[in-house]
Amino acid sequence: MDKIFVMNLGTTSFKFKLYAWETEDPKVLAAGELESIGAQESAWEISYPGGEPKSGKTPIADHGMAFEHCFAILQADGILKDLDDLTAVGYKAVHGGNLSGTCLVDDALIAEMERVTPFAPAHNPIYLNAMKNIRSRFPGLTQVARFETSFHGSIPAPRVTYGVPYQWQQEVGIRRYGFHGSSHQYISQTVAKLQPGARKIINCHLGGSSSICAILDGKSVATSMGATLQSGLFNNNRVGDFEAFCIKPVMDHYGYTLDETLEILSKKSGLLGLSGVSNDLRLVMDAAAEGNAQAQLAVETLADNILGYIGMYAAYLNGLDALVFTGGIGTNSSLLRQMVCENLGYLGLKLDARKNDGRGDGCISTEDSAVKVWRLKTDEESVVAACVREYLHP
Protein backbone atom coordinates (compact mmCIF):
# COMPACT_ATOMS: atom_id res chain seq x y z
CA MET A 1 0.00 0.00 0.00
CA ASP A 2 1.37 3.44 -0.95
CA LYS A 3 1.67 6.02 1.80
CA ILE A 4 2.60 9.56 0.81
CA PHE A 5 3.34 12.42 3.22
CA VAL A 6 2.50 15.76 1.54
CA MET A 7 4.06 18.98 2.84
CA ASN A 8 2.84 22.54 2.41
CA LEU A 9 5.45 24.89 3.88
CA GLY A 10 5.49 28.51 4.98
CA THR A 11 8.37 30.54 6.36
CA THR A 12 7.64 29.44 9.94
CA SER A 13 4.82 26.96 9.35
CA PHE A 14 4.62 23.32 8.37
CA LYS A 15 1.39 21.64 7.25
CA PHE A 16 1.09 18.03 6.22
CA LYS A 17 -1.39 15.38 5.17
CA LEU A 18 -0.59 11.67 5.09
CA TYR A 19 -2.40 9.76 2.33
CA ALA A 20 -2.75 5.99 1.87
CA TRP A 21 -4.09 4.03 -1.07
CA GLU A 22 -5.74 0.71 -0.32
CA THR A 23 -7.85 1.13 -3.44
CA GLU A 24 -7.63 3.73 -6.24
CA ASP A 25 -9.20 6.32 -3.89
CA PRO A 26 -6.77 7.72 -1.35
CA LYS A 27 -7.61 8.01 2.33
CA VAL A 28 -6.22 10.72 4.61
CA LEU A 29 -4.61 8.88 7.53
CA ALA A 30 -3.47 12.00 9.38
CA ALA A 31 -3.19 15.76 9.03
CA GLY A 32 -1.17 18.21 11.05
CA GLU A 33 0.28 21.62 11.44
CA LEU A 34 3.23 23.23 13.24
CA GLU A 35 3.63 26.95 13.81
CA SER A 36 6.49 29.24 14.86
CA ILE A 37 9.30 27.06 13.54
CA GLY A 38 12.61 28.51 14.72
CA ALA A 39 11.05 30.18 17.79
CA GLN A 40 11.69 28.96 21.35
CA GLU A 41 8.56 26.82 21.21
CA SER A 42 6.48 25.63 18.28
CA ALA A 43 2.83 24.72 18.69
CA TRP A 44 1.81 21.52 16.90
CA GLU A 45 -1.47 19.77 16.24
CA ILE A 46 -2.10 16.40 14.62
CA SER A 47 -5.47 14.82 13.93
CA TYR A 48 -6.67 11.45 12.69
CA PRO A 49 -10.03 11.05 10.92
CA GLY A 50 -12.83 10.76 13.44
CA GLY A 51 -10.52 11.42 16.40
CA GLU A 52 -9.84 14.36 18.69
CA PRO A 53 -6.78 16.38 17.61
CA LYS A 54 -3.63 16.02 19.71
CA SER A 55 -1.54 19.08 20.33
CA GLY A 56 1.50 20.27 22.18
CA LYS A 57 4.46 22.64 22.24
CA THR A 58 8.09 21.82 21.60
CA PRO A 59 11.18 23.58 20.22
CA ILE A 60 11.46 22.93 16.44
CA ALA A 61 14.52 24.47 14.79
CA ASP A 62 13.73 23.88 11.12
CA HIS A 63 11.38 22.17 8.66
CA GLY A 64 13.47 18.97 8.66
CA MET A 65 13.03 18.73 12.42
CA ALA A 66 9.31 19.41 11.96
CA PHE A 67 9.07 16.37 9.67
CA GLU A 68 11.05 14.28 12.17
CA HIS A 69 8.72 15.38 15.00
CA CYS A 70 5.53 14.51 13.05
CA PHE A 71 7.01 11.23 11.88
CA ALA A 72 7.83 10.22 15.49
CA ILE A 73 4.25 10.95 16.60
CA LEU A 74 2.77 9.03 13.65
CA GLN A 75 5.07 6.12 14.48
CA ALA A 76 4.22 6.18 18.20
CA ASP A 77 0.51 6.21 17.30
CA GLY A 78 0.95 3.20 14.99
CA ILE A 79 0.01 5.11 11.81
CA LEU A 80 3.45 4.49 10.28
CA LYS A 81 5.50 1.43 11.24
CA ASP A 82 8.88 2.78 10.20
CA LEU A 83 10.52 4.78 7.41
CA ASP A 84 10.11 1.89 4.97
CA ASP A 85 6.36 2.15 5.55
CA LEU A 86 6.46 5.59 3.90
CA THR A 87 6.53 5.42 0.09
CA ALA A 88 7.60 9.03 -0.39
CA VAL A 89 7.29 12.59 0.80
CA GLY A 90 5.71 15.05 -1.63
CA TYR A 91 6.19 18.82 -1.69
CA LYS A 92 3.80 21.51 -2.90
CA ALA A 93 6.94 23.18 -4.24
CA VAL A 94 6.69 26.64 -5.75
CA HIS A 95 9.02 27.72 -8.59
CA GLY A 96 10.87 25.05 -10.55
CA GLY A 97 12.10 27.27 -13.40
CA ASN A 98 12.60 25.05 -16.41
CA LEU A 99 11.36 22.06 -14.44
CA SER A 100 7.64 21.61 -14.37
CA GLY A 101 5.18 18.90 -13.42
CA THR A 102 6.23 16.31 -10.86
CA CYS A 103 9.95 15.64 -10.35
CA LEU A 104 12.26 13.64 -8.13
CA VAL A 105 14.15 15.81 -5.66
CA ASP A 106 17.77 15.35 -6.71
CA ASP A 107 20.84 17.54 -7.17
CA ALA A 108 19.62 18.83 -10.55
CA LEU A 109 16.25 19.86 -9.12
CA ILE A 110 17.88 21.59 -6.16
CA ALA A 111 20.23 23.47 -8.52
CA GLU A 112 17.36 24.62 -10.75
CA MET A 113 15.25 25.76 -7.78
CA GLU A 114 18.28 27.67 -6.47
CA ARG A 115 18.77 29.31 -9.89
CA VAL A 116 15.22 30.66 -9.93
CA THR A 117 15.11 31.65 -6.25
CA PRO A 118 15.33 35.37 -7.18
CA PHE A 119 11.88 34.91 -8.79
CA ALA A 120 10.40 33.32 -5.63
CA PRO A 121 12.63 34.62 -2.82
CA ALA A 122 10.03 34.16 -0.09
CA HIS A 123 9.09 30.61 -1.08
CA ASN A 124 11.90 28.62 -2.75
CA PRO A 125 14.42 28.87 0.12
CA ILE A 126 11.93 27.28 2.56
CA TYR A 127 11.42 24.26 0.30
CA LEU A 128 15.12 24.01 -0.51
CA ASN A 129 15.99 23.99 3.20
CA ALA A 130 13.38 21.33 3.93
CA MET A 131 14.51 19.14 1.01
CA LYS A 132 18.18 19.36 2.06
CA ASN A 133 17.40 18.85 5.74
CA ILE A 134 15.23 15.81 5.17
CA ARG A 135 17.73 14.37 2.70
CA SER A 136 20.54 14.59 5.24
CA ARG A 137 18.42 13.25 8.13
CA PHE A 138 16.68 10.49 6.10
CA PRO A 139 18.96 9.72 3.13
CA GLY A 140 16.93 6.72 1.91
CA LEU A 141 13.60 8.52 1.76
CA THR A 142 12.18 9.27 -1.71
CA GLN A 143 11.34 12.97 -2.08
CA VAL A 144 9.15 14.21 -4.92
CA ALA A 145 8.16 17.79 -5.81
CA ARG A 146 5.01 18.93 -7.56
CA PHE A 147 5.55 22.49 -8.75
CA GLU A 148 2.88 25.16 -8.39
CA THR A 149 3.73 26.26 -11.93
CA SER A 150 2.82 22.85 -13.40
CA PHE A 151 -0.84 23.31 -14.26
CA HIS A 152 0.01 26.37 -16.33
CA GLY A 153 2.23 24.64 -18.90
CA SER A 154 -0.72 24.71 -21.32
CA ILE A 155 -1.00 28.53 -21.48
CA PRO A 156 -0.44 29.68 -25.09
CA ALA A 157 2.84 31.48 -25.86
CA PRO A 158 1.41 34.99 -26.33
CA ARG A 159 -0.05 34.88 -22.83
CA VAL A 160 3.19 33.94 -21.12
CA THR A 161 5.20 36.49 -23.07
CA TYR A 162 6.07 39.96 -21.80
CA GLY A 163 6.82 42.86 -24.13
CA VAL A 164 10.54 42.84 -23.28
CA PRO A 165 13.57 42.28 -25.53
CA TYR A 166 13.16 38.78 -26.93
CA GLN A 167 16.44 37.49 -25.51
CA TRP A 168 15.33 38.30 -21.92
CA GLN A 169 12.93 35.37 -22.14
CA GLN A 170 15.61 33.03 -23.49
CA GLU A 171 18.51 34.21 -21.35
CA VAL A 172 16.92 35.30 -18.04
CA GLY A 173 13.61 33.41 -18.09
CA ILE A 174 11.49 36.59 -18.07
CA ARG A 175 8.09 35.11 -18.88
CA ARG A 176 4.89 34.23 -17.07
CA TYR A 177 4.91 30.96 -15.16
CA GLY A 178 1.80 31.24 -12.99
CA PHE A 179 1.34 29.68 -9.55
CA HIS A 180 -1.34 28.08 -7.31
CA GLY A 181 -1.41 25.30 -9.91
CA SER A 182 -2.52 22.60 -7.47
CA SER A 183 -5.53 24.65 -6.38
CA HIS A 184 -6.56 25.59 -9.91
CA GLN A 185 -6.16 21.95 -10.99
CA TYR A 186 -8.25 20.71 -8.05
CA ILE A 187 -11.05 23.15 -8.88
CA SER A 188 -10.93 22.22 -12.57
CA GLN A 189 -11.29 18.52 -11.68
CA THR A 190 -14.04 19.23 -9.14
CA VAL A 191 -16.13 21.36 -11.53
CA ALA A 192 -15.78 18.60 -14.14
CA LYS A 193 -17.61 16.32 -11.68
CA LEU A 194 -20.16 18.87 -10.41
CA GLN A 195 -21.02 20.44 -13.75
CA PRO A 196 -20.28 17.93 -16.51
CA GLY A 197 -20.00 19.69 -19.87
CA ALA A 198 -18.65 22.94 -18.38
CA ARG A 199 -15.81 23.75 -20.77
CA LYS A 200 -15.04 27.35 -19.83
CA ILE A 201 -14.17 27.98 -16.18
CA ILE A 202 -12.69 30.91 -14.29
CA ASN A 203 -11.32 30.05 -10.86
CA CYS A 204 -10.74 32.86 -8.35
CA HIS A 205 -8.32 31.54 -5.70
CA LEU A 206 -8.56 34.36 -3.14
CA GLY A 207 -6.77 34.05 0.17
CA GLY A 208 -3.58 35.20 1.85
CA SER A 209 -2.12 34.82 -1.64
CA SER A 210 -4.47 35.18 -4.60
CA SER A 211 -4.60 34.36 -8.31
CA ILE A 212 -7.19 33.84 -11.01
CA CYS A 213 -7.04 31.19 -13.70
CA ALA A 214 -8.94 30.69 -16.95
CA ILE A 215 -9.49 27.00 -17.71
CA LEU A 216 -10.61 25.57 -21.04
CA ASP A 217 -11.40 21.85 -21.29
CA GLY A 218 -9.50 21.14 -18.08
CA LYS A 219 -6.37 23.07 -19.10
CA SER A 220 -5.07 26.40 -17.85
CA VAL A 221 -5.12 29.00 -20.66
CA ALA A 222 -4.37 32.14 -18.63
CA THR A 223 -3.44 33.06 -15.08
CA SER A 224 -2.90 36.29 -13.22
CA MET A 225 0.46 35.60 -11.58
CA GLY A 226 3.48 35.93 -13.83
CA ALA A 227 7.22 35.33 -13.50
CA THR A 228 6.91 35.92 -9.75
CA LEU A 229 4.17 35.62 -7.15
CA GLN A 230 4.11 39.41 -6.85
CA SER A 231 2.15 40.04 -10.02
CA GLY A 232 -1.53 39.97 -10.97
CA LEU A 233 -4.12 40.73 -8.29
CA PHE A 234 -2.98 42.69 -5.35
CA ASN A 235 -2.74 40.29 -2.43
CA ASN A 236 -3.01 40.73 1.33
CA ASN A 237 0.53 42.10 1.60
CA ARG A 238 1.79 42.10 -2.00
CA VAL A 239 1.45 44.78 -4.61
CA GLY A 240 0.24 42.73 -7.58
CA ASP A 241 0.54 44.37 -10.98
CA PHE A 242 2.61 47.52 -10.69
CA GLU A 243 4.35 49.79 -13.10
CA ALA A 244 8.10 49.17 -13.15
CA PHE A 245 8.73 52.84 -13.94
CA CYS A 246 7.25 53.93 -10.57
CA ILE A 247 10.04 52.28 -8.63
CA LYS A 248 12.65 55.01 -9.26
CA PRO A 249 10.44 57.96 -8.25
CA VAL A 250 9.50 56.12 -5.02
CA MET A 251 13.17 55.43 -4.24
CA ASP A 252 14.11 59.04 -4.98
CA HIS A 253 11.27 60.47 -2.91
CA TYR A 254 11.77 58.39 0.24
CA GLY A 255 15.50 57.70 -0.11
CA TYR A 256 14.86 53.94 -0.13
CA THR A 257 17.29 51.45 -1.61
CA LEU A 258 15.99 49.09 -4.29
CA ASP A 259 15.80 46.25 -1.74
CA GLU A 260 13.85 48.40 0.71
CA THR A 261 11.40 49.38 -2.02
CA LEU A 262 10.91 45.77 -3.12
CA GLU A 263 10.43 44.73 0.51
CA ILE A 264 7.62 47.26 0.90
CA LEU A 265 6.03 46.18 -2.38
CA SER A 266 6.06 42.55 -1.28
CA LYS A 267 5.33 42.81 2.47
CA LYS A 268 3.65 46.12 3.24
CA SER A 269 1.53 46.72 0.17
CA GLY A 270 -1.70 45.14 -1.09
CA LEU A 271 -4.63 45.23 1.33
CA LEU A 272 -2.36 46.16 4.23
CA GLY A 273 -0.60 49.05 2.52
CA LEU A 274 -3.68 50.46 0.82
CA SER A 275 -6.10 50.20 3.77
CA GLY A 276 -3.57 51.11 6.46
CA VAL A 277 -5.66 48.80 8.68
CA SER A 278 -4.69 45.16 8.23
CA ASN A 279 -3.76 42.46 5.74
CA ASP A 280 -6.89 40.56 6.82
CA LEU A 281 -9.88 41.37 4.61
CA ARG A 282 -12.28 40.78 7.53
CA LEU A 283 -10.73 43.64 9.52
CA VAL A 284 -10.50 45.88 6.46
CA MET A 285 -14.20 45.26 5.73
CA ASP A 286 -15.10 45.99 9.36
CA ALA A 287 -13.19 49.28 9.20
CA ALA A 288 -14.88 50.16 5.90
CA ALA A 289 -18.29 49.47 7.45
CA GLU A 290 -17.39 51.88 10.26
CA GLY A 291 -16.70 54.61 7.73
CA ASN A 292 -12.94 54.31 7.14
CA ALA A 293 -12.66 55.65 3.56
CA GLN A 294 -9.18 54.23 2.96
CA ALA A 295 -10.38 50.77 3.98
CA GLN A 296 -13.44 51.14 1.73
CA LEU A 297 -11.15 52.05 -1.18
CA ALA A 298 -9.02 48.94 -0.51
CA VAL A 299 -12.07 46.65 -0.56
CA GLU A 300 -13.45 48.25 -3.72
CA THR A 301 -10.05 48.12 -5.44
CA LEU A 302 -9.72 44.41 -4.66
CA ALA A 303 -13.21 43.64 -6.01
CA ASP A 304 -12.54 45.78 -9.08
CA ASN A 305 -9.22 44.03 -9.71
CA ILE A 306 -10.93 40.62 -9.60
CA LEU A 307 -13.74 41.83 -11.88
CA GLY A 308 -11.21 43.07 -14.43
CA TYR A 309 -9.51 39.68 -14.64
CA ILE A 310 -12.86 37.90 -14.98
CA GLY A 311 -13.77 40.22 -17.87
CA MET A 312 -10.43 39.64 -19.58
CA TYR A 313 -10.61 35.88 -19.07
CA ALA A 314 -14.23 35.65 -20.27
CA ALA A 315 -12.91 37.27 -23.46
CA TYR A 316 -9.99 34.81 -23.70
CA LEU A 317 -12.43 31.93 -23.21
CA ASN A 318 -14.99 33.50 -25.55
CA GLY A 319 -17.71 32.82 -22.98
CA LEU A 320 -18.07 31.35 -19.54
CA ASP A 321 -19.77 28.25 -18.10
CA ALA A 322 -18.60 28.36 -14.48
CA LEU A 323 -17.16 30.94 -12.11
CA VAL A 324 -15.58 29.58 -8.92
CA PHE A 325 -14.60 31.27 -5.68
CA THR A 326 -12.12 29.43 -3.49
CA GLY A 327 -9.48 30.18 -0.81
CA GLY A 328 -10.09 31.79 2.60
CA ILE A 329 -11.50 34.98 1.07
CA GLY A 330 -13.26 33.31 -1.87
CA THR A 331 -15.16 30.82 0.27
CA ASN A 332 -15.88 33.07 3.26
CA SER A 333 -16.62 36.56 2.00
CA SER A 334 -20.17 36.76 0.64
CA LEU A 335 -19.77 40.53 0.37
CA LEU A 336 -16.76 40.31 -1.92
CA ARG A 337 -18.46 37.69 -4.12
CA GLN A 338 -21.50 39.92 -4.35
CA MET A 339 -19.41 42.99 -5.25
CA VAL A 340 -17.63 41.04 -8.00
CA CYS A 341 -20.75 39.41 -9.46
CA GLU A 342 -22.74 42.65 -9.50
CA ASN A 343 -21.15 43.64 -12.81
CA LEU A 344 -21.32 40.26 -14.53
CA GLY A 345 -24.97 40.42 -15.60
CA TYR A 346 -23.81 40.95 -19.18
CA LEU A 347 -22.64 37.32 -19.15
CA GLY A 348 -26.11 36.19 -18.05
CA LEU A 349 -24.69 35.47 -14.58
CA LYS A 350 -27.17 35.79 -11.71
CA LEU A 351 -25.99 35.32 -8.14
CA ASP A 352 -28.58 33.87 -5.72
CA ALA A 353 -28.35 36.21 -2.70
CA ARG A 354 -29.62 33.61 -0.25
CA LYS A 355 -27.25 30.88 -1.44
CA ASN A 356 -24.38 33.39 -1.54
CA ASP A 357 -24.96 34.12 2.14
CA GLY A 358 -24.80 30.42 3.04
CA ARG A 359 -21.72 28.34 3.79
CA GLY A 360 -20.03 25.21 2.52
CA ASP A 361 -19.40 23.88 -0.97
CA GLY A 362 -22.15 24.46 -3.48
CA CYS A 363 -23.66 26.36 -6.37
CA ILE A 364 -24.58 29.95 -5.45
CA SER A 365 -26.16 31.15 -8.71
CA THR A 366 -29.87 31.13 -9.56
CA GLU A 367 -31.47 28.25 -11.47
CA ASP A 368 -31.76 30.39 -14.62
CA SER A 369 -28.22 31.85 -14.47
CA ALA A 370 -26.35 31.31 -17.76
CA VAL A 371 -23.10 30.92 -15.77
CA LYS A 372 -23.03 28.67 -12.72
CA VAL A 373 -21.24 30.26 -9.77
CA TRP A 374 -19.60 27.92 -7.26
CA ARG A 375 -18.23 28.35 -3.75
CA LEU A 376 -15.76 25.48 -3.29
CA LYS A 377 -13.11 24.66 -0.73
CA THR A 378 -9.84 23.85 -2.44
CA ASP A 379 -7.66 20.82 -1.63
CA GLU A 380 -4.17 21.36 -2.95
CA GLU A 381 -2.58 18.53 -0.99
CA SER A 382 -4.79 15.90 -2.63
CA VAL A 383 -3.56 17.02 -6.05
CA VAL A 384 0.08 16.85 -4.93
CA ALA A 385 -0.51 13.39 -3.43
CA ALA A 386 -2.16 12.08 -6.62
CA CYS A 387 0.60 13.55 -8.82
CA VAL A 388 3.37 12.07 -6.66
CA ARG A 389 1.72 8.65 -6.78
CA GLU A 390 1.29 8.87 -10.54
CA TYR A 391 4.94 9.85 -10.87
CA LEU A 392 6.00 6.81 -8.81
CA HIS A 393 3.72 4.43 -10.77
CA PRO A 394 3.54 5.86 -14.30
Least distance in Å: CB of 271 to ligand AMP? 8
Do the Cβ atoms of 1 and 18 come closer than 8 Å?
no
Q: Where are the alpha helices (DSSP H) in 107-257?
A: 107-115, 124-137, 166-172, 181-194, 247-254
Q: How far apart are CA 219 and CA 316, in angstroms?
A: 13
The 164-203 contact track toward ligand AMP, x by CB under 6 A, reads ----------------------------------------
Least distance in Å: CB of 163 to ligand AMP? 32
Q: Pick from 329, 344, 364, 388: which binds ligand AMP (CB under 6 A)?
A: 329
Q: Pick from 100, 292, 332, 366: which binds ligand AMP (CB under 6 A)?
A: 332
Least distance in Å: CB of 109 to ligand AMP? 26
Nearer to ligand AMP by Cβ, of 329 and 341: the residue is 329
Amino acid type, 102: T
Q: Is 281 in the site for ligand AMP (CB under 6 A)?
A: yes
Nearer to ligand AMP by Cβ, of 170 and 294: the residue is 294
The 12-51 contact track toward ligand AMP, x by CB under 6 A, reads ----------------------------------------
Q: Pick from 32, 207, 232, 273: which binds ligand AMP (CB under 6 A)?
A: 207
Nearer to ligand AMP by Cβ, of 81 and 282: the residue is 282
- The residues, ordered by sequence, that sit 6+ positions from 178 with a Cβ below 8 Å of its Cβ are 149, 151, 152, 155, 160, 211, 213, 220, 223, 224, 225, 226
Nearer to ligand AMP by Cβ, of 94 and 116: the residue is 94
Distances (CA, A) of 81 to 71, 87, 273: 10, 12, 49
Nearer to ligand AMP by Cβ, of 280 and 352: the residue is 280
Q: Is 286 in the site for ligand AMP (CB under 6 A)?
A: no
Least distance in Å: CB of 325 to ligand AMP? 11
Q: Is 214 in the site for ligand AMP (CB under 6 A)?
A: no
Helices 334-341 + 293-317 axis angle, to 10:
60
Determine the Cα angle at 123 with ends 122 and 127, to 5°.
135
Least distance in Å: CB of 329 to ligand AMP? 4
Q: How far apart are CA 389 and CA 394, in angstroms?
A: 8
**Strand order in 200-205's β-sheet?**
219-223, 211-216, 200-205, 322-326, 372-375, 362-363
**Exposure pattern of 40-53 as b/e (b: 16+ CB <10 Å)?**
eebebebebeeeee
Taking the CA atoms of 88, 91, 96 and 98 in sequence, report the sign of the dihedral they define: positive
Q: Is 333 in the site for ligand AMP (CB under 6 A)?
A: yes
Nearer to ligand AMP by Cβ, of 65 and 383: the residue is 383
Q: Pick from 208, 218, 308, 311: which binds ligand AMP (CB under 6 A)?
A: 208
Do the Cβ atoms of 69 and 124 come closer than 8 Å?
no
Q: Which stretch binds ligand AMP (CB under 6 A): 211-219, 252-260, 279-287, 382-390?
A: 279-287
The site for ligand AMP, by CB under 6 A, has a size of 11
Beta-bridge mates of residue 212: 204
Least distance in Å: CB of 394 to ligand AMP? 32
Closest among 90, 151, 92, 160 to 124, alpha carbons compared:
92
Least distance in Å: CB of 305 to ligand AMP? 15
Do the Cβ atoms of 212 and 224 come closer than 8 Å?
yes
Binding positions for ligand AMP, rule: CB under 6 A: 207-208, 236, 280-282, 327-329, 332-333
